[in-house]
Amino acid sequence: MIQKTSAPGSAEPQLRNACLNFWSVKAELGLRGPRREGPVFSKIWYDSREQRLHQPDCESHTQCFLLAFSTAQHAGRKPAAERMMRFPHCLAFAFCLFTTLSSQADSNEKTLARPNILIAIADDWSFGHAGAYGCSWIKTPGFDRVAKEGVLFNRFYTPSAKCSPSRSAIMTGRNPWQLGAAANHWPTFPAEFQTYPEVLQTMGYWVGMTMKGWGPGEAKDVNGKPRQMAGVPFNKRTTGTPTAEISKNNYSANFEDFLAANTDSKPWCFWYGSVEPHRPYEYGSGVSKGGKQLGDVLRVPAYWPDNDTVRNDMLDYGFEVEYFDKHLAQMLESLEAKGQLENTIVIVMADNGMPFPRSKGQNYEIANHLPLAVRWPKGIPFPGRVVDDYVSVIDLAPTLLEVAGVPWATSGMAPATGRSFLPLLRSEKSGIIDAARDHVLLGRERNDVGRPNDVGYPIRSILKAGVLYSHNFEPSRWPGGNPEAGYLDCDSSPTKSALLHAHRKNVADPFWALSFGKRGEEELYDLASDPDCVINLAAKTELAAVKTALSGQLEMELRMQEDPRILGRGAEFDAYPFANDTHRGFYERHRSGNAMLKGFSADDFEVAPLDIVLPRE
């Protein structure tokens, strides 16, 4: 039995009188005792001592009318119409009960339209690396709970596998190539684009974040004032950590501070921005502190050698994913204890793929394919489902504004390219729900430093029905950054160093070529047979029609989105300056002996430029 308490100033007197009239109707009909009235009748009464209406859950006007009419209908044994004529009290009661329940339904609908929002974003976490996806060597009870009690997504992608452009897309609902300088990593975010956290704050939400929100880069408003892109920061609490490389930010304790600061009891939106599993890691920590074994990794991807160095690196990554999940689980437990979990939409995801060669910053399955689970008991009527529709991070902002009851047209945000996936959450189906969600667009512009004149490695891709087509606009450039500048479009790591050392011993090393070698203008991969994207089918004549169809759709949609790159203005992206001085002109300063970046291994820099050019397949 569900109990609902009416708010002060509600229709309690009317309800009490209606109930009194109702009991007098019962007396006229000779009915005694609550168990004679039928299944609905016995569930509604007014408790004068507690001053509350006891009733079943009623969240819509239709449900309220049926409940009220059914209640009145059970007041006798003759046909409903005849009873209503003979006993006006019943009709009066039904009407009063209907209006009262409808008022409460209005309140319920408003509550459903304005849930609390918790977004947990791991920093550099690839799809599949969670228990809910069948991964045995990374334990994620927090994520698994969200998936089990909500919806798990199998095809969730970021259009750009790098922190800044991906987070720009998440916050705006637009692809990075539609955001000017924000298509790049380390940009100055354009003041004309609003973010959904900023909009929610103006619409009455209490909005906050911890640790990593949008960035890295610089974001100021039109008056030059720094913007709180993800909300008010809460970062005061610190804690001990299992390794020196894991952030000391006590994420869950800072979340508690955020909740406590919500003194007006507003609906709230919180951005849990972990910096795990971003590099660096403590080498060997997965084994020494995480209790893992090298054999726990069931499969090393085909683009890396299967050796102890790579396996250790993967386990260290997994150990940090588990740390992110630990704080997520603590947040869920806290909300449950406070009674706030039921009407909180919890979204757990990542910004881009794992920080390994051929992954983060690139345009392959492991780079752009991300985990996603959503839990929201008040908004997901059929939990425990797995969805196979293609969903992009650009769909997040439209979804969140819709659940918050904020029309996009009046939000002040630029037109969205993404679209709400709320219908997927409300559906009762698993698998493919919306046939129109059959593809996503991917791409990249300039990521990290390391090329002459601060240029990037532009790509546009389409992934449709399990086939990935990519167009590399500047195949003469190095996709991982120039070798003599340290391949800096790839984070330093034991795996990266192992690939570079192997190549120095054997210039024909296939793993170096897959991660750092130059590529052809077109790439085509069948993910069903080649999930690692190592067999380029672009030159296969039997697949020419498939390639042409995908290329044509990609170009058409990019033109509709007014992508400068496809419109012949791609140089605009390279011309946007880095937001910080240490990155601007890095290649030239490094080559003259005047620059080195922190966090990168000097051993990764080749002594001289390499002139190796692989065949364009």
What value does the mean pLDDT take over residues 541-546?
Answer: 98
Alpha-carbon torsion (163, 164, 169, 170), positive or negative: positive
Asked whether residue 204 carries a pLDDT value surpassing 80, the answer given is yes
CB 408 within 8 A of CB 401: yes
459 Cβ contact list (under 8 Å, min separation 6): 363, 442, 443, 444, 470, 471, 472, 473
Length of the chain: 617
pLDDT band at 496 (very low <50, low <70, confident <90, very high): very high
Q: Could you give the count of Cα atoms lying within 13 Å of 504 in the half-sphere of its Cβ?
A: 13
Tell me the residue ranges of DSSP E strands in 48-144: 52-54, 116-122
Q: What is the pLDDT of residue 362?
A: 97
Indicate left, alpha or beta for 519 from its phi (over 0: left) and psi (-120 to 50: alpha). beta
pLDDT band at 612 (very low <50, low <70, confident <90, very high): low
- Which tokens in the block code for residue 105? 């339904």
pLDDT band at 110 (very low <50, low <70, confident <90, very high): very low
Residue type, 317: Y
Asked whether residue 220 carries a pLDDT value surpassing 80, the answer given is yes
Q: What is the pLDDT of residue 32?
A: 37
Q: What is the pLDDT of residue 601?
A: 83
Q: What is the pLDDT of residue 21?
A: 42
From CA 62, how far away is CA 71, in angstroms rounded? 14
Q: What is the pLDDT of residue 111?
A: 42
Q: What count of other Cβ atoms lies within 10 Å of the Cβ of residue 462? A: 23
What value does the mean pLDDT take over residues 358-382?
Answer: 98
Q: What is the pLDDT of residue 599?
A: 72
Q: What is the pLDDT of residue 593?
A: 86
Q: What is the pLDDT of residue 99?
A: 52
CB 440 within 8 A of CB 558: no
What value does the mean pLDDT take over residues 108-113?
Answer: 47
pLDDT band at 535 (very low <50, low <70, confident <90, very high): very high
Pairing state between β 385-392 and 218-219: unpaired
What value does the mean pLDDT take over residues 459-472?
Answer: 98
Residue ranges, comma separated, of all CATH 3.40.720.10 domains in the chain are 114-437
Question: Residue 76 to residues 64, 84, 93: CA-CA distances in angstroms?
Answer: 20, 10, 14
Q: What is the pLDDT of residue 30?
A: 40
Higher pLDDT residue, 102 or 171?
Answer: 171
Of the candidate ranges 87-96, 292-301, 519-528, 551-560, the one whose mean pLDDT is the lowest: 87-96
- What is the homologous superfamily of the domain 114-437 according to CATH? Alkaline Phosphatase, subunit A (3.40.720.10)
Q: What is the pLDDT of residues 7-44, one digit of tens each?
A: 334 343 344 444 434 433 333 334 333 333 333 333 34
Which residue from 471, 464, 455, 259 is spatially nearest to 344, judged by alpha carbons?
Answer: 259
Q: What is the pLDDT of residue 15?
A: 40
Q: What is the pLDDT of residue 95?
A: 53
CB 160 within 8 A of CB 183: yes
Asked whether residue 55 carries a pLDDT value surpassing 50, the answer given is no
Asked whether residue 107 carries a pLDDT value surpassing 50, the answer given is no
Residue that the structure tokens 């869950």 belong to: 252
Crossing angle for the helix pair 308-338 and 494-505, to the nearest 10 degrees:
160
Asked whether residue 64 carries a pLDDT value surpassing 50, the answer given is no
Asked whether residue 235 carries a pLDDT value surpassing 50, the answer given is yes
Q: What is the pLDDT of residues 262-312, one digit of tens each?
A: 999 999 999 999 999 999 999 999 999 999 999 999 999 999 999 999 999
Q: What is the pLDDT of residue 600?
A: 80
Task: Determine the distance from the C-alpha atom of residue 415 to the mean position of all C-alpha atoms in its chain, rounded to a whole number.
Answer: 20
Asked whether residue 180 carries a pLDDT value surpassing 70, the answer given is yes
Higher pLDDT residue, 68 or 257?
Answer: 257
Asked whether residue 329 carries a pLDDT value surpassing 50, the answer given is yes
Q: What is the pLDDT of residue 113?
A: 55
What value does the mean pLDDT take over residues 413-435?
Answer: 98
Higher pLDDT residue, 106 or 322?
Answer: 322
What value does the mean pLDDT take over residues 555-581?
Answer: 97
Q: What is the DSSP string of 474-496?
A: -TTS-TT--GGGT-TTS---HHH
Asked whether residue 57 carries a pLDDT value surpassing 60, the answer given is no
